[in-house]
Amino acid sequence: MTETVVVLGAGYAGAGAIKSLEDALDDEADIIWISDHDHHLVLHEVHRCIRDPSVRQNVTIPIEEIKSPHTRFIEGEVTGLDCDDREIALADGSTVDYDYALVTLGSQTAYYGIDGLEAHSLTLKSLDDALEIHDAVKEAARDATPDDPAQVVVGGAGLSGIQTAGEIAEFRDLHHAPIEITLVEALEEIFPGNDPELQGALRKRILERDIEISTDDPITEADEDVIHFESDATLEHDVFVWAGGITGQEAMDGTDLDNEHNRVNAAATFETSDDRVFALGDSAIVDQPEGPCPPTAQAAWQAAEVAGENVARALHGQPLTSWTHEDKGTLVSVGEKAVAHNVVNVPINTFGGPGAKFLKKAVATRWIRDIAGSSRAARAWPDM
């Protein structure tokens, strides 16, 4: 009897795993792809929609352009996974049986129990989120004046927070809008945990975009129009975007899989505590020699190819391959500018300018080409 392999999620890990599975299994198994959206979102470029919503056509790729005709797609929200019955529950009450499952559900925003934070902030985890930020910034600017500018605060100065602040600055400058932007980070420096040279290069470009930086003062509470800090300082806001961290999806809550904060623990082979369930991407904590794999798009791309092959190996009763993450460098956009750091085969350690911008665009369009073809990648290039 033909076995069924189900992939949960259509992010980088999910889309990449589908391509890998289709290549490795070659119609030997029934492949089912489940996602709550009928498109794959190029998430690390969705911030472009904050400046210009028309970019949406190039950061959303229809599922039908990615999968083969033999792969069955189900649009639905995954609400649970029963390892004993090998059954996936969907929000509409239906279930899907599996022989092997790949959990690639991505993450959701973490609020760390901070009072009022979830209720009074916007996030950037989807296309709708980006469009909501655009609308909120546009409305705030419409009601503002040069003497009383709109106050936009971005909480969390990691990759998402920095790129969000940069796009808001581009919107402000493009429309000559009266907006003041503040980037807030609880730790001592922006882009925490990264090389000081990279942090300095990003700080320089953020300040050049007339974005104020506030660090080393955690948020303790958020109200409708005021943010409170540990130092007892306050900051008024008309728009507040929170990009301060991630946690696992609630669908993993209550499963028998070993997990931390709904992120499933997985070995370097992507096996979980159940030998019929594999996990990767932001929804997983994948074991690596130097600690858990970073929750980045780059890591998800790399992992997806090996994970798909390992599911095929498991189905054939073959030994599994262990995966090791290779950091190929960091690329961060600050509006129209970008910073590149420690990029493989590039002799300069940290740099900006046209070279960094070109690399940022090239990486995004290469991913689009790999999953949807050269024509779509060429159309997307100007917006990346």
Say which residues have a Cβ less than 8 Å from residue 210's Cβ, sequence separation at least 6: 169, 181
**Least confident interval from 51-60, 75-84, 210-219, 254-263:** 254-263
Is 364 in a helix, a strand, or coil?
helix
In-domain check, residue 165: yes
Q: What are the tokens at 101?
A: 């499952």
Per-residue pLDDT tens over the stretch 301-329: 999 999 999 999 999 999 999 999 999 99
Q: What is the CATH number of the domain that holds 270?
A: 3.50.50.60
In a domain, 53, yes or no: no
Domain with 369, as residue range(s), is: 330-383
- Of 242, 276, 304, which one is at a domain's C-terminal end? 242
In a domain, 321, yes or no: no
Instruction: Give kind and range of the element (H or E) at residue 358.
Output: helix 353-372
Average pLDDT of the chain is 96
d(CA 118, CA 123): 9
Residue 284 lies in a domain: yes
50 falls within a domain? no
Q: Of 259, 281, 316, which residue constitutes the final position of a domain?
A: 316
Same domain membership, residue 367 and residue 303 = no
Element (H, E) at 22: helix 12-25
Note the pLDDT tens digit of each residue in 327-367.
Answer: 999 999 999 999 999 999 999 999 999 999 999 999 999 99
Residues 158 and 235 in one domain: yes
26 domain-assigned: yes
Q: Is residue 118 part of a domain?
A: no
For the chain, how many structural domains are there in total?
A: 3
**Count of other CB atoms within 10 angstroms of residue 287:** 17
> How confident is residue 292, by pLDDT bands cut at 50, 70 and 90?
confident
Same domain as 231, residue 132: yes
Q: Is the Cα torsion angle 211, 216, 217, 218 positive or negative in sign?
A: positive
Q: Is residue 70's pLDDT more than 80?
A: yes
pTM attached to this predicted model: 0.95
Indicate if 278 and 194 belong to the same structural domain.
Answer: no
- 234 and 132 in a common domain: yes
Query: In the chain, how many H helices and how many E strands?
Result: 9, 25
Average of per-residue pLDDT across 89-100 = 98
- For 262-291, give the DSSP string: TEEEE-TT-B-SSTTEEE-GGGEEE--TTS
